[in-house]
Amino acid sequence: MMRMMAFGTLACAVLTSCYSYTEVVGKGPQKNQQEKKWNHYMVYGLVPVSRVSTKEMVGDTENYAVKIEHSFINGLLSAVTFGIYSPTTVTVTK
């Protein structure tokens, strides 16, 4: 029974994935210019502390893509703080 519980715990820890969401606007990125910033959340992402303005990151560009993800570094910080601090990475590609 203990082996099964240990195996289940290990499988849950190893088989996790990074959350990612991508939105393409217009014809998508044309120049391959990227800008990255972090959103800052508390309590497993439930309480926003500061969020990035994608409108400011995009500027006057009409064709771009916005990707919001929990990267490995974001997940590591969340794990180290036991979910108290949970950042996400926002990438705008023009």
At 25, which amino acid appears? V
Would you state the pLDDT for residue 7? Answer: 81
Residues 33-50 have pLDDT tens digits of: 999 999 999 998 889 999
Distances in Å between the alpha carbon of 52 and those of 7, 15, 26, 49?
39, 29, 21, 10
* Distance from C-alpha of 34 to C-alpha of 42, rounded to nearest angstrom: 26
The string of pLDDT tens digits covering residues 12-32 is 766 666 678 899 999 999 988
Domain spans in the chain, listed from the N-terminal domain onward: 18-93
Quickly state the pLDDT bin for 64 (edges 50, 70, 90). Answer: very high
What is the pTM for the complete model shown? Answer: 0.75
